[in-house]
């Protein structure tokens, strides 16, 4: 409706201006009057013949009339201008009314739609924030569980390592005891052999002496 009003405004304005220009061009006020006889005499005084002067003045009159026609075609009177301004103001007032009506209808619908979109965006934002909080909570919980599991594994490995160290110490102690006992047994056997050799040696001496 606003576009149609603007188009009608331009069309009516163009018609009024063309009609006013035609009325103004048809009036007698556009004629330019000057003393052609005096101009002919002036030309004759400057060396023109009477025929040349009259032809020259006639050509000037025709050229002047043509120029005046062109000029007055693009001009309007003050009264016509005021009438056009009044018509334009009336059309502008109608356009303003149309804009007010459009604002009350279309703009209200746009505002309602914009508010609806804002509410939807707020809801989506809140939903995303809830999801982010949930993901953070789940991640933190999983991290704590994994951390506890790692600590338990570390403690278990420490206990196993301690048990292995204890077993190794016990094995070393057992090996040391076994080595000590073996050394003592060897020393005992060596001492017995020495005693036996001394006894056999003494027996041999007795036998040889006998």
Tens of pLDDT, residue by residue over 110-159, are 778 888 899 999 999 999 999 999 999 988 898 889 888 888 888 888 88
70, part of any domain = yes
CA 42 – CA 57 distance, rounded (Å): 11
149, part of any domain = no
59, part of any domain = yes
pLDDT of residue 117: 92
How many CA atoms within 13 Å lie on the side-chain side of 103? 6
140, part of any domain = no
Q: Greatest CA separation found in the chain? A: 207
57, part of any domain = yes
Q: Is the pLDDT of residue 46 over 80?
A: yes
The 3-state secondary structure of 103-124 reads: HHHHHHHHHHHHHHHHHHHHHH
192, part of any domain = no
Report which of 3, 1, 4, 6 is spatially closest to residue 91, judged by C-alpha positions: 6
**What domain range includes position 61?**
32-77
48, part of any domain = yes
CA 75 – CA 22 distance, rounded (Å): 10
Question: What CATH number does residue 71 fall under?
Answer: 1.20.5.340
71, part of any domain = yes
Q: Give, to the nearest 10 degrees, the angle between helix 50-73 and helix 36-45.
A: 140
Give pLDDT tens digits for 82-121: 888 888 898 888 888 888 887 777 777 777 888 889 999 9
Name the residue with higher pLDDT: 78 or 9: 78
The predicted model scores a pTM of 0.30
Q: How many independent structural domains does the chain possess?
A: 1
């Amino acid at each position: 409706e606003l576009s149609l009003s603007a188009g009608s405004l331009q069309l009516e304005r163009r018609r009024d201006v063309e009609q006013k220009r035609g009325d103004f061009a048809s009036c007698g006020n556009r004629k330019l009057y000057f003393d052609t006889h005096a101009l002919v005499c002036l030309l004759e005084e400057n060396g023109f013949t009477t025929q040349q002067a009259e032809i020259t003045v006639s050509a000037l009159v025709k050229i002047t009339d043509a120029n005046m026609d062109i000029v007055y075609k693009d001009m309007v009177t003050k009264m016509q201008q005021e009438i056009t301004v009044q018509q334009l103001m009336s059309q502008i007032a109608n356009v303003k009314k149309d804009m007010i009506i459009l604002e009350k209808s279309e703009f209200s619908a746009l505002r309602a739609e914009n508010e609806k979109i804002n509410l939807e965006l707020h809801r989506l934002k809140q939903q995303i924030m809830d999801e982010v909080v949930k993901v953070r909570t789940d991640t933190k919980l999983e991290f704590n569980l994994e951390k506890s599991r790692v600590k338990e594994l570390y403690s278990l490995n420490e206990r196993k390592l301690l048990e292995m160290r204890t077993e190794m110490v016990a094995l070393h102690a057992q090996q040391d005891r076994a080595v000590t006992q073996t050394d003592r047994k060897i020393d005992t056997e060596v001492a017995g052999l020495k005693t036996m050799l001394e006894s056999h040696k003494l027996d041999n001496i007795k036998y040889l002496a006998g």
